[in-house]
Every structure is written in structure tokens, then in C-alpha cells.
Amino acid sequence: MADDSADRDLIAQAARDAGRLALAFKARGLTAWEKSKGDPVSEADLAADNLLKERLRPARRDYGWLSEETTDDRSRIDAARSFVVDPIDGTRAFIKGRPEFVVSVAVIEAGAPVAAALFDPSTDRLWDAVRGRGARLNGAPIRVSGHKQIRGARILGDPGRLPTLRALGAEASTVNSAALRLALAAQGAYDAVVAERAKWDWDLAAGALIFTEAGGVITSRKGDALVFNGEPPRQPAPLAAGPALHALLRERLNQGDT
């Protein structure tokens, strides 16, 4: 029988090691290029991806695999559990030398994350979670903020795309990594995450579990649940906040302008 806590411990250590490897590449100078227009990757992304594969797949031989930097072998389709990995979420910031990136690893079962780890090697912060057992930052429990109104809400999202929320008194700012946004909101440093674009499973899987285990709600902007490991493995633009604020934001966003 699968052990969620053992999976959490496994992926947390692998995420730490991958993050430290990425920093070592950064320290000696990076080679980077574009996979496609506007989609950067570096040698550190690939090295971290390889490290995660070498640590995780032999340890759980019956688990499937999905990673941003690995061709989808579809092992995830028939597997009861799968790893969902972004070896560096926030590659653009990483290449530019900004500390807005994390290593993101989740374990998915039946369309939902059951264990998650996000490691920020720039600040040595590890967020992790196990389904039903809460979320942690460096081993200490975390909770989403209790903010209950749009006015004064600290939102992580593109300020230029949120004019109506800002006119209602919300504050908007952003960081490059989608996973890091969810982690920061999970610890209560921000009140909500409002995305404008669809995301891949590897962008959200780990952060979604950490956020919900910290007491938050994450759905599509229409309120639909996020179901992972689909075809394709892609999610609609997410909305994440504490329960009361989530309901207010969803109502406002579905009026047609933000």
C-alpha cells in the first residue's frame, strides 16, 4: 500500500538536491536557449530533471512520470500513481539571476495530488504537504490568510490584467514562478493568486496540494475543480484564496472583467 508520508519525504529530499544542483550550475555560468519562442530552458533545467529521474523512478518503479523537461512517455496514463515534476519552475527568472524559482515535485493519484514538495534553493525554504495532514514550511505548519474582502487583498497576479480588482482596492504584484506564488499564498504572505492563462500540471500540482492543505481553495476561475493527469495535462487559469475571499473573487471575475 502506498505511503503518502514516505512519498513526501522522498520527493522533498530529491527536490532539495535538484535545487542545490541548479544553484551550482548558476554559480559557474549558464547555457540557455529557447525550446520555442518565449519558452526558455537551460542546462540546469535538464540536469535537475535528470537528477530527479535518477532519484525517484528507481525508488518507485511502478509510478508514472510527467515532467516539463521530459517527453511524455505516457507511463502516467495507466499507473496508479505518478510523479509530476517541474525541475525549475520560473526558468526565466532563474536565467536572469532573480530568486523567483523553485523545484516542484508532486505525487498524483486518481487525478489529485497526494504528496508535494516545493524547494526554493535561493532561500533554503521547503514547502511540503501530505493529503489530509496539513502543509508545512521548513517543518512548521502554515495557513492561508483569513482576509475576507477584495479591498486590501494582496493578490499575486499580473497587475496590468487586473484593473477592476485593483479599482476595488486590491493590491496586485507578481513573481515569475506559478508554483512559488501558491507557496507564498499558502503561508499567508499573500491573500490570493489570480492567473490569466492556462497552466500545465507541472506548474500547479505540488502548489495546489500545499495551498489546499494550508486551508485554501483552488479552482478554475469558474469554480471547477482541478483534475490532474488529463489529456493533455493542462489546467484552466487557476484562482486560489481562502474560502471567503475565493467566493468573492470568483463572483467578481465571472462578471466578465477583472
**Does residue 34 surpass a pLDDT of 90?**
no
Confidence (pLDDT) at 172: 95
Confidence check: pLDDT of 57 > 70: yes
pLDDT digits (tens, 9 = 90+) for 213-231: 999 999 999 999 999 999 9
Q: Among residues of the chain, what percentage have pLDDT more than 90?
A: 90
Q: Which of 59, 31, 60 lies closest to 45 in space, CA to CA?
A: 31
- What's the average model confidence in pLDDT over 140-151? 97
Kindly tell me if the per-residue pLDDT of 27 is higher than 90. no
Whether pTM exceeds 0.85: yes
pLDDT above 70: percentage of residues in the chain: 98
Amino acid at site 180? L
SS3 string of 118-138? EEECCCCEEEEEECCCCEEEC
Percentage helix, strand, coil for the chain under 3-state DSSP, each rounded to 5:
35, 30, 40
Identify which of 29, 179, 24 has the alpha carbon closest to the alpha carbon of residue 90. 179
Average pLDDT, the chain: 95
Domains, in order of start, for the chain: 4-141 (3.30.540.10), 154-253 (3.40.190.80)
Output the pLDDT for position 33. 87
- pLDDT of 29: 83
pLDDT digit string, tens, across residues 166-221: 999 999 999 999 999 999 999 999 999 999 999 999 999 999 999 999 999 999 99
pLDDT of residue 1: 60
Q: Is 80 exceeded by the pLDDT of residue 145?
A: yes
pLDDT at 257 over 60: no
pLDDT at 119 over 90: yes
Residue 258 has pLDDT above 60, yes or no: no
For 202, other C-beta atoms within 10 Å of its C-beta total 25
Q: What is the DSSP string of 150-193?
A: STT-EEES-GGG-HHHHHTT-EEE--S-HHHHHHHHHTTSSSEE
